């Protein structure tokens, strides 16, 4: 059996990649799985990240799926469980961070854990239990208007207390600043006072590194992806280049872009400006049938090679709105995701072995259509986006993919990614 040390459960797919990326940078070999695996892992790993889609589903389902993931991780002999959620603590008054934490604590028989979304590298800091996004409090960051998980209270103690039956306490930064011994002492005190979950302050990576050793004996850690930088050391693992080693790359290069985020629009514009081949998929043409998909593949096949090609539906806000007004948001999204996934499959069948996908939902659709269930995590291209390698029945050899959620990456990402893997 694999000697897996850390078992992680992430509440969405690109969040799972973000966590895996931090663990690799801290020296662990990591495999990310889409859902709870039904087969043994393809490759050796120090950590496994099981990605669920449980952030906004009913709390009882999220808890049940998370416990199912936990049971599988336990069969792999993991020594510690990490429940990973968003660094903006995305949740509603019903959950799902509290209910999933409660269910995992019950299943593990543990009476204490921590919770901290702090991730200073991307501007998420926790001070006196209040979450900051950049320079502003959570509820002033735009997250108060989120369509599914509006965050209107920056006090993590209050937010979590509304979702959990455990009492919630705080390890504040004055304690964290004193180091692991002081943190352990504070935790012991909270425990004896009947606290079950402690929010932990962290305003810098140094704070996270002080917190790490105090968590060595915890059966369960709950956090954003920030805390991951400090856990591998507890297992005697230090940053090393072997952690990000992937199988040899092969095949031609392509980019599929279904994200309409600002950063992705800039990346598409930059790619086109370099004079490389790019084809726009018109969502309205997809209503008529599969002709547009076939046309895209016929256009792409003769161009495939070392120089990347791009097929995109990426659009500026105004034209996106027009399409959504005509087709409805959900139908437009489904049509485009399905089409881009079909194009991705056709490109892989035509010999693409290195594929960049832009868009969180788009990435999910592409990975699912390719039948990829396990991804080995490689080196970071830009913060939060690593190259990954996986197996697809549509490819003869290992397929390399980079899954970029909308707002990640510099404007030259679509060409830089291939330079990095070369």
Comparing CB distances to ligand ADP, the nearer of 124 and 404 is: 404
333 binding ligand ADP? (CB under 6 A): yes
Among 260, 372, 377, 381, binds ligand ADP (CB under 6 A): 260
Start-to-end Cα distance in the chain: 33
Among 27, 95, 212, 283, binds ligand ADP (CB under 6 A): 283
CB of 226 to ligand ADP, least distance (A): 21
265 binding ligand ADP? (CB under 6 A): no
47 binding ligand ADP? (CB under 6 A): no
Q: Which residues pair with 399 in a beta bridge?
A: 390
Burial class (CB in 10 A: 0-12, 13-18, 19+), 305: exposed
- CA angle centred on 137, ends 126 and 144, rounded to 5°: 120
409 binding ligand ADP? (CB under 6 A): no
CB of 161 to ligand ADP, least distance (A): 31
d(C-alpha 345, C-alpha 392), whole Å: 10
Among 110, 137, 209, 320, binds ligand ADP (CB under 6 A): 320
CB of 118 to ligand ADP, least distance (A): 23
Q: Which 229-258 positions form the footprint of ligand ADP (CB under 6 A)?
A: 258
Q: Nearest Cα to 402, choosing from 350, 334, 344, 354?
A: 354
CB of 368 to ligand ADP, least distance (A): 13
Residues 158 and 93 sit within 8 Å (Cβ to Cβ): no
d(C-alpha 113, C-alpha 211), whole Å: 13
| From 174-182, 320-328, 369-377, 392-400, span contacting ligand ADP (CB under 6 A) | 320-328
12 binding ligand ADP? (CB under 6 A): no
Q: What is the 3-state secondary structure (H, E, C) of 54-96?
A: CCCCCHHHHHHHHHHHHHHHHHCCCCEEEEECCCCCCCECCEC
d(C-alpha 302, C-alpha 418), whole Å: 20
CB of 286 to ligand ADP, least distance (A): 9
Comparing CB distances to ligand ADP, the nearer of 160 and 370 is: 370
121 binding ligand ADP? (CB under 6 A): no
* Beta strand segments in 103-203, E: 113-116, 124-127, 130-133, 136-137, 168-171, 197-200
296 binding ligand ADP? (CB under 6 A): no
259 binding ligand ADP? (CB under 6 A): yes
| From 105-113, 117-125, 183-191, 357-365, span contacting ligand ADP (CB under 6 A) | 357-365
Q: Which 362-381 positions form the footprint of ligand ADP (CB under 6 A)?
A: 362
Q: What is the 3-state secondary structure (H, E, C) of 348-396?
A: HHCCEEEEEEECHHHHHHHHHHHCCCEEEEEEEEECCEEEEEECCCCCC
Backbone angles phi and psi of 390, in degrees to 5: -150, 170
308 binding ligand ADP? (CB under 6 A): no
d(C-alpha 89, C-alpha 222), whole Å: 11
Among 117, 360, 378, 386, binds ligand ADP (CB under 6 A): 360
Residues found near ligand ADP in the complex (CB under 6 A) = 258-261, 264, 283, 313, 315, 320, 323-324, 332-333, 336-337, 359-362, 405-406
């Amino acid at each position: 059996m694999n000697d897996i040390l850390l078992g992680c459960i992430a509440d969405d797919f690109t969040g799972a990649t973000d966590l895996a990326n931090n663990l690799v940078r801290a020296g662990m070999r990591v495999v990310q799985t889409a859902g709870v695996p039904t087969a043994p892992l393809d490759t050796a790993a120090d950590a496994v990240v099981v990605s669920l889609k449980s952030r906004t589903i009913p709390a009882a389902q999220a808890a049940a799926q998370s416990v199912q993931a936990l049971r599988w991780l336990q069969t792999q002999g993991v020594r510690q469980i990490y429940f990973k959620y968003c660094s903006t603590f995305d949740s509603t008054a019903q959950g799902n961070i509290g209910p999933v934490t409660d269910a995992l604590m019950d299943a593990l028989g543990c009476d204490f854990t921590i919770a901290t979304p702090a991730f200073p590298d991307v501007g998420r800091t926790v001070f006196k239990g209040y979450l900051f996004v950049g320079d502003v409090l959570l509820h002033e960051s735009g997250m108060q208007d989120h369509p599914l998980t509006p965050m209107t209270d920056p006090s993590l103690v209050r937010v979590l207390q509304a979702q959990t039956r455990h009492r919630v306490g705080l390890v504040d930064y004055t304690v964290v600043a004193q180091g692991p011994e002081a943190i352990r002492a504070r935790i012991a005190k909270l425990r004896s006072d009947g606290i079950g979950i402690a929010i932990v302050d962290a305003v810098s990576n140094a704070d996270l590194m002080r917190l790490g050793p105090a968590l060595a004996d915890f059966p369960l850690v709950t956090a954003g992806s920030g805390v991951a930088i400090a856990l591998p050391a507890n297992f005697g693992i230090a940053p090393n280049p072997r952690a990000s080693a992937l199988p040899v790359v092969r095949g031609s290069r392509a980019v599929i872009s279904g994200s309409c985020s600002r950063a992705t629009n800039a990346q598409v514009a930059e790619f086109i400006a370099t004079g490389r081949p790019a084809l726009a998929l018109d969502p309205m043409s997809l209503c008529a049938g599969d002709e547009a998909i076939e046309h895209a593949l016929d256009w792409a096949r003769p161009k495939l090679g070392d120089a990347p090609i791009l097929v995109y539906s990426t659009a500026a806000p105004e034209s996106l709105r027009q399409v959504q007004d005509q087709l409805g948001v959900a139908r437009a999204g489904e049509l485009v995701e399905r089409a881009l996934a079909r194009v991705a499959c056709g490109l892989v069948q035509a010999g693409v072995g290195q594929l960049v996908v832009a868009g969180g939902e788009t990435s999910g659709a592409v990975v699912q259509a390719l039948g990829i269930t396990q991804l080995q995590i490689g080196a970071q291209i830009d913060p939060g986006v690593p190259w990954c390698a996986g197996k697809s029945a549509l490819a003869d050899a290992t397929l390399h993919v980079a899954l970029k959620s909308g707002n990640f990456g510099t404007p030259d990402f679509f060409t830089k990614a291939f330079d990095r893997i070369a």
